[in-house]
Amino acid sequence: MIVSENTLTSRAPARPPVAPERTHEEDVQQYRWIILLGLITAAIMEVLDTTIVNVALPQMAGNLGATNQEIGWVATGYILSNVVVLPMTAFLAARFGRKRYLAFSIILFITASFFCGTSHSLIELVGWRVIQGAGGAALLSTAQATIRQIFPQEQQGIVQAVFIMGIIVAPTLGPTLGGWITDNYTWNWCFFINVPIGIVAVFLVTSFLHDAPGSRRIQQVDWLGIGLLAVGLASLQYVLEEGQSNDWFADALILKLAILSAVCLATMLWWQLTPRNKHPVVDFRVLKNRELAASIFLFVALGFGLYGGVFIFPLFTQNILLFTPTETGLALLPGGLATAVSAIICGRLLNGARPLVDPRVLIYIGVCLFCWSMWALGHMTTASGQADTLVPLLFRGLGLGFLFAPINQVAYGNLPPAQAQQASGLINLARQLGGSFGIAVLGTYVASHVAFHRATLVQHIVPGNPLFDERLHALTGFMSSRGYPPVAANQAALNLIDLTVNRQAATMAYDDAFMLILVSFVVVAPAILVLRKPKPRAGAAIDAH
């Protein structure tokens, strides 16, 4: 029997249709919100760790037999390595691949966190903190750059607002959480808490984030640039961290390191820009974009005000207003929540291909709110209480939300996605260095102004001044009523007056410090005029390289 070819074909079992392979862009579109969750988790872990540890430092010092100055290296060591690695994150991501570098950084961070918690000596703890800081650098800069690359331009407003909300609210919650952990457990758990959070972040990043196919990796390494950068920034950070306690340039080591830092950073800048360097570790050419350059300038001031303010506020409230650490943390909490609210508002206003509001308008609103809060904090008295700090801190929190999200939107708005990683490293470095300058400058400023105001006040504490004589007579009578002999009562009254003068001088010095933060914002405000409105983009390429 002859069977036709068509008959055989018709009787053959039908093959299931082959599903077309998913493209990288389709994977990114489907999983980018899950990737965002992993990136935010990692970033919150890094930012939270910088503040949660500060509350536990006294307990660490007692357990490890360290002085207050020695235990400070637990914070200093972290910041030193973090600052050095931050500007190199773009190079490292390009050298090893974004997914591999980010996953390695998270694993390095949680591994160092575990060994920080198991440390039995100060040297061991500081060593692991240095490693932890190196791993933490990518958790902000690479994460933020990845968000710029996997989300289209019209969604950047709300996405960046959600990301920034996490990294601003986390340090506000840090002191409260750190105090609770320290009071109910031990300081070790301030580090152990990172392990489960980091495991979740590693799973999400490694499972859903992938490098774009065909992306090229840097083969040559700029060893000279890395060396100059590491020595220059490490020396600068040491000067900023230790300068105040060592009387700045009166100390030989501080002076030598300051000179070394200036020489290394100047040489590094020349080497990175010279045409002979084909693969610079830091591509400063991105600063030709004037929006990015102006935004970095603004972020230095933001770091100065944010970290500097967080540094002096607890000192003022606990030393002068006699708040407990828990009360100080609770006082900062509403401001952190206000930042979350204003960041979401900005995200909604800036979302879409054509934002509803010019981001520059929101930046001006943020500057005004922040300046008013500094003005109010700069007029506190020794009689101020928690209620007096509530409204200024709320306005401060609102102002920060109106600053971070819009400045980020403008900084990246006219920048090619391929340059997002380099820009993110420089932005985060600017914020971190601004914070280091803020802590160093404001610490020295307060100390010098306490002496200045005390010298001014004691000029009026002389016999013959009716107010002084009346006060001394009243206090002497009070001490006599408590059983003090006449001479001892008079001396005790003078001691009380001296304490009152010192407290008043310190209050005036902290007021001056808050006003200095206000002045710094007013000085940098003209940089907003340099910014241009981001160009509308109907469909920005996803994960451009």
Q: What are phi and psi of 524, to 5 degrees?
A: -90, -10
Residue with the larger pLDDT of the pair 203 and 540: 203
Kindly report, residue by residue over 192-208, the tens digit of the pLDDT: 888 888 888 888 888 87
Three-state SS at 278: coil
Boundary (domain end) residue, out of 241, 263, 280: 280
Alpha carbons within 13 angstroms on the beta-carbon side of residue 47 total 24
Boundary (domain end) residue, out of 191, 221, 251: 221
Contact 432, 79 (CB under 8 A): yes
Query: Average pLDDT, stretch 402-431?
Result: 77
Q: What is the mean pLDDT of the chain?
A: 77
Residues 269, 352: one domain? no
Give the model's pLDDT for residue 544.
39
Domain tally for the chain? 4
Q: Return the minimum-mean-pLDDT range out of 212-221, 402-411, 470-479, 492-501.
A: 212-221
| pLDDT > 80? residue 401 | yes
| pLDDT > 50? residue 3 | no
Give the model's pLDDT for residue 18.
47
Residues 322, 254: one domain? no
* Exposed e or buried b per residue across 348-385, where buried means at least 16 C-beta atoms within 10 angstroms of its C-beta: ebbbeeebeebbbebbbbbbebbbbbbebbbebeeebe
pTM: 0.74
Residue 11 domain-assigned (yes or no): no
At residue 437 the predicted structure's pLDDT band, cuts being 50, 70 and 90, is confident
Boundary (domain end) residue, out of 221, 250, 270: 221
Contact 406, 363 (CB under 8 A): yes
Residues 244, 319: one domain? no
Residues 251, 319: one domain? no
Q: Return the minimum-mean-pLDDT range out of 19-28, 37-46, 125-134, 341-350.
A: 19-28
Residues 53, 106: one domain? yes
At residue 17 the predicted structure's pLDDT band, cuts being 50, 70 and 90, is low
Neighbours of 402 (CB within 10 A): 27
Give the model's pLDDT for residue 536.
56
Helices 486-524 and 290-319 pack at an angle, to 10 degrees, of 170
Range of the domain at 370: 285-446+515-536
Contact 166, 43 (CB under 8 A): yes
Residues 367, 426: one domain? yes
% residues pLDDT > 70 (the chain): 81
Place of tokens 């943390």: 329
Kindly report, residue by residue over 91-140, the tens digit of the pLDDT: 787 778 878 888 888 999 999 989 988 888 888 888 888 888 888 888 87
Give the model's pLDDT for residue 534.
64
Residue with the larger pLDDT of the pair 401 and 217: 401
Measured CA to CA, the distance from residue 471 to residue 97 in angstroms comes to 71
Residues 103, 241: one domain? no
Residues 194, 305: one domain? no
Residues 191, 243: one domain? no
Residue 10 domain-assigned (yes or no): no
| pLDDT > 50? residue 76 | yes
Residues 261, 347: one domain? no
* Residues 6 or more apart in contact with residue 302 via CB below 8 angstroms: 400, 403, 404, 407, 431, 434
How does DSSP assign 451-480, residue by residue? HHHHHHHHTT-STT-HHHHHHHHHHHHHHH
Residue 19 domain-assigned (yes or no): no
When computed from its CA atoms, the radius of gyration of the chain, rounded to whole angstroms, is 28
Residues 304, 271: one domain? no
CATH number at residue 306: 1.20.1250.20
Query: Average pLDDT, stretch 410-439?
Result: 76
By the 10 Å C-beta count (0-12 exposed, 13-18 middle, 19+ buried), 147 is classed as buried
Measured CA to CA, the distance from residue 10 to residue 306 in angstroms comes to 75
Residue 541 domain-assigned (yes or no): no
Give the model's pLDDT for residue 172.
65
Kindly report, residue by residue over 145-199, the tens digit of the pLDDT: 787 777 777 677 777 777 777 776 666 666 666 667 766 777 778 788 888 888 8
Measured CA to CA, the distance from residue 191 to residue 186 in angstroms comes to 10
Residue 542 domain-assigned (yes or no): no
Measured CA to CA, the distance from residue 525 to residue 363 in angstroms comes to 9
Residue 525 domain-assigned (yes or no): yes
* Exposed e or buried b per residue across 177-191, where buried means at least 16 C-beta atoms within 10 angstroms of its C-beta: bbbebbeeeebbebb
| pLDDT > 70? residue 6 | no
Kindly report, residue by residue over 230-260, the tens digit of the pLDDT: 788 778 777 776 776 666 777 788 888 888 8
| pLDDT > 90? residue 375 | yes
Residues 67, 175: one domain? yes
- Residue among 334, 337, 442 at smallest CA distance from 386: 334
Residue 179 domain-assigned (yes or no): yes
